[in-house]
Structure formats: C-alpha cells, structure tokens
C-alpha cells in the first residue's frame, strides 16, 4: 500500500481506508493473500479480515516466499517456498521482482482454491501477460519497443529494473508520458527522478 490515485484520495490514511473496507467484506471461509513487503497492508489484513490471511514475498519472510531468481530473455525462473508444500521451481515468461512477487501472491491464492503445483506451474509458463504491462510492441532497426502503463514512481522503477534484468546488454531509453492524475500532481516529483534514473536515457513528454 502506497499513496496513489491522488484525484480520489486525500492522503495515505484515506487511501488505506479502501483496503480496510475491502477486508471487512471478506467472509470467514474466504482467503486473503497480502504482500509482506508492505507491513501496513499485513496489519490491516490481519486486523480487519475474518478470513484466513497468508503473506507472500520475494526474498523475505512470508508464508509463500519466492527466491533463487534467474533472469533471461525467456522470463524468470524462481523457486517458491509454499506453506505445507515445500519448495518447487517455476517459470514466468515475464521479468522484474514485482512480477515475481505478484506470482507468489497468485500461487498462494491458487493453492487456497485447490490447484496443484503442476497446474499452477503450467498456468505461469503459458501466461503471456496483459496489454500495456511490459508488452513488446515490435522491433525496428534493432530498437525493441516495450509498452507499459506504469505511472506511480514505484511501478516505474520496478518496470525499468525488470526490463533491464531481461535485456541486460541493451541500452534502455525510457519515454515517460505523465497522463494519470497522480503523475501530474506535485506529489512524487523527487521519486520520479530516482525511478527514471534507472534508464540510460529518459525523455518526459510535456503534459498537454
């Protein structure tokens, strides 16, 4: 949980209120997977949810923990340590620690729904991603164009880090268009500087 959607929420406590309301709606026989990377989210989940709560993380303490990552042009191979299921290997045709962490959360939810490890592994290995999330649009003259909707500084930095992990030998040019209400406000300017500094070159479009 990080402050976002500044056109709707006043501040972080106001933003967190939506997560509290969400947790309140979960039934006792439900299941909630929470990223251990955000301790406040874990506290909210465990305090407000009547359902079972499990945590997930990359290289951190959690009920479902991913580690031993190996990045390549094919994506990332990693190991998942699952509660009551030991450790198993997985392939995800994407890159970036944020996608590994998302996969750990999906793994936790899928196991709660009764899926086996092999069923989940097959789903991950054939997952092609979604539109505008590290979407490869084409390559012309040796320039590979990748489209991503990331607009929050954390999302920008993790996306750029993920692309660099997948293509370590390529020059990385970030073209950032501040279109969302959050990115156009005087909230995260300093964080954007650090996020875009990951690229070899960054170009920012002037808002219209």
- What pTM was computed for the model? 0.78
Per-residue pLDDT tens for 127-156? 888 778 888 889 999 999 999 888 888 888
pLDDT at position 6? 76
pLDDT at position 184? 73
Question: Confidence class of residue 106 from pLDDT cuts 50, 70 and 90?
Answer: very high
User: In the predicted model, is pLDDT for residue 180 greater than 90?
Assistant: no
Put residue 170 in one of left, alpha, beta given phi > 0 → left and psi -120 to 50 → alpha.
Answer: beta
Q: How much is the mean pLDDT over the chain?
A: 89
Per-residue pLDDT tens for 58-98? 988 999 999 999 888 888 899 999 866 678 889 998 888 88
User: In the predicted model, is pLDDT for residue 186 greater than 80?
Assistant: no
Mean pLDDT, residues 172-189 taken together = 82
Mean pLDDT, residues 45-67 taken together = 93
pLDDT at position 49? 95
User: In the predicted model, is pLDDT for residue 52 greater than 90?
Assistant: yes
Question: Confidence class of residue 105 from pLDDT cuts 50, 70 and 90?
Answer: very high
Q: Is 34 helix (H, G, I), strand (E, B) or coil?
A: strand
Structure tokens at 183: 């990115």
Q: Which residues pair with 171 in a beta bridge?
A: none
pLDDT above 70 covers what percent of the chain? Answer: 99
Put residue 153 in one of left, alpha, beta given phi > 0 → left and psi -120 to 50 → alpha.
Answer: alpha
pLDDT at position 12? 85
Say how far apart CA 53 and CA 102 lie, in whole Å: 16
Say how far apart CA 202 and CA 197 lie, in whole Å: 7
Question: Confidence class of residue 171 from pLDDT cuts 50, 70 and 90?
Answer: very high
Torsion angle (degrees, nearest 10) of CA 181, 187, 190, 192 = -20
């Amino acid at each position: 949980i990080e402050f976002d959607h500044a056109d709707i929420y006043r501040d972080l406590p106001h933003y967190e209120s939506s997560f509290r309301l969400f947790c309140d709606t979960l039934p006792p026989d439900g299941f909630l997977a929470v990223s251990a990377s955000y301790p406040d989210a874990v506290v909210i989940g465990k305090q407000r949810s009547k359902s079972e709560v499990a945590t997930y993380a990359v290289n951190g303490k959690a009920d479902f923990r991913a580690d031993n990552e190996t990045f390549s042009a094919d994506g990332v191979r990693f190991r998942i340590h699952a509660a009551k299921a030991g450790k198993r290997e997985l392939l995800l045709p994407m890159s970036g620690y944020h996608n590994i962490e998302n996969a750990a959360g999906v793994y936790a939810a899928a196991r709660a729904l009764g899926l086996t490890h092999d069923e989940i592994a097959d789903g991950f290995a054939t997952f092609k991603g979604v539109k505008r999330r590290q979407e490869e649009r084409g390559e012309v003259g040796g320039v590979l164009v990748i489209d991503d909707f990331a607009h929050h500084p954390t999302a920008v930095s993790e996306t750029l880090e993920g692309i660099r992990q997948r293509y370590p030998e390529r020059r990385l040019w970030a073209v950032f268009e501040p279109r969302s209400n959050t990115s156009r406000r005087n909230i995260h300017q300093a964080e954007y500087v650090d996020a875009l500094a990951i690229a070899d070159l960054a170009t920012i479009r002037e808002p219209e």
